[in-house]
Amino acid sequence: QSAFTQGDSHRVGLAREGYLYLPASCSRGELCRVHIAFHGCRQYAGEVNDQFYRYAGYNQWADNNRIIVLYPQTVATSLGPFNPKGCWDWWGYTGADFAYRNGAQIGAVRSMLDHLAQGFTPEQPLFTDTPPELSAIDATDDSALLVWTRGRPASAYRLYRAPGNTDQFERVADMPQTSGSHVDRGLLPDTKYSYRIGFTGSSGTEEYSNTATIVTRSPAPDCDPYFNDNVTHASRGRAHVWFGLTFAKGSWDYMGFWNLLTETALLRDDDGFQVGVCPWRNGH
């Protein structure tokens, strides 16, 4: 990663090397997309070696969907900048432009993407004599991600959706045939949806792809979480300090010593806070 930063990569919180997962289909020259996987605090390679790269779950997903996965890596630093947990810069330790495209870390990652794309020439649409193959590969509580392969030549594709176990398909979107994905939004949580693609074939009649189904996730529980060191919690009014010890405002839950190295997860409790994390429910 040093090649993509101006000067020493450690000065902007980046390790000298990162990881890249290249599916076999992509190495053969097939058209692939790129996904960037940002690790969390204390998950950088210097702390967990290649565990995030190997076991975060992205690689198998990438194999099945022709996606290159870029795993940029941070590094823990104690001086210039102060980032002892190896976090990505979400508070400004690399400078005031940390959240903008010209920020040191964002700019470096963008340069990595540009390097991956060097020499790439967009392929001409490849059509086959079969209908498009439709897959529903992911969902949130109110959206679904659909991808498909190109099929018989047509001026456009029409996406149809049916809720639940019904076969009452309604047209929800029109897309050019050269597109390969679509996000369907405004869905209900915990609901099964079926999709298919319609297109006008050479005979002038409407033909359809296979039917793909997916169930949307449950909505995230109502929760207002805060995670930070105890000094920041106290300075933001979420905690009280008493003789070097820290207590959550309102509940007076004990949080440990008042220093930058002690970190606590808080969640809002009426007008105060309590120690804890948001509960997980149905995959959230």
- Per residue in 225-250, pLDDT (tens digit) is 888 889 989 999 999 999 999 999 99
- What is the structure's pLDDT at 284? 42
- What is the structure's pLDDT at 211? 96
**Residue 171 sits in the same domain as residue 244:** no
Give the residue with greater pLDDT, 239 vs 2.
239
Angle in degrees, CA 250, 254, 257, rounded to 5? 120
What's the pLDDT band for 283 if we cut at 50, 70, 90?
very low
- Largest Cα span, the chain: 83
Instruction: Tell me whether residue 201 is in a domain.
Output: yes
**Residue 194 sits in the same domain as residue 254:** no
pLDDT exceeds cutoff 90 at 97: no
| Tokens matching residue 237 | 């009014």
pLDDT exceeds cutoff 70 at 48: yes
Instruction: Tell me whether residue 7 is in a domain.
Output: yes
**Residue 45 sits in the same domain as residue 147:** no
Among 116, 150, 170, give the residue marking a domain's end. 116
Report H helices in the chain: 24-27, 45-48, 51-55, 58-65, 104-116, 230-235
Tens-digit pLDDT profile for residues 30-43: 888 899 999 999 99
Instruction: Tell me whether residue 63 is in a domain.
Output: yes
Instruction: Tell me whether residue 280 is in a domain.
Output: no
**In this structure, are strands 254-257 and 245-248 parallel, antiparallel, or unpaired?**
antiparallel
- What is the structure's pLDDT at 80? 74
Instruction: Tell me whether residue 282 is in a domain.
Output: no
Q: Give pTM, 2 decimals.
A: 0.57
- Residue (of 269, 264, 262) closest to 244 by Cα position: 262
**Residue 42 sits in the same domain as residue 88:** yes
Q: Residue 134 is inside which H or E element, if any?
A: strand 134-139
* Cross-strand bridge partners of residue 229: 263
Looking from the CA of 8 toward its CB, the CA atoms found within 13 Å total 7
pLDDT above 70 coverage of the chain, percent: 91
Report d(CA 9, CA 3) in Å as an integer.
Answer: 8
Give every CB contact of residue 260 below 8 A, 6+ residues apart in sequence.
Answer: 229, 230, 231
User: What mean pLDDT do residues 158-174 have?
Assistant: 93
What's the pLDDT band for 122 if we cut at 50, 70, 90?
low
- What is the structure's pLDDT at 111? 94
b/e 156-168 (16+ beta carbons within 10 angstroms → b): ebbbbbbeeeeee
**Residue 6 sits in the same domain as residue 109:** yes
Domain around 242: 225-275
Q: Residue 198 is inside which H or E element, if any?
A: strand 192-200
What's the pLDDT band for 45 if we cut at 50, 70, 90?
very high
**Residue 63 sits in the same domain as residue 89:** yes
**In this structure, are strands 134-139 and 170-175 parallel, antiparallel, or unpaired?**
unpaired
What's the pLDDT band for 282 if we cut at 50, 70, 90?
very low
Instruction: Tell me whether residue 127 is in a domain.
Output: no
**Residue 7 sits in the same domain as residue 112:** yes
pLDDT exceeds cutoff 90 at 79: no
User: What mean pLDDT do residues 170-181 have?
Assistant: 84
Average pLDDT, the chain: 87
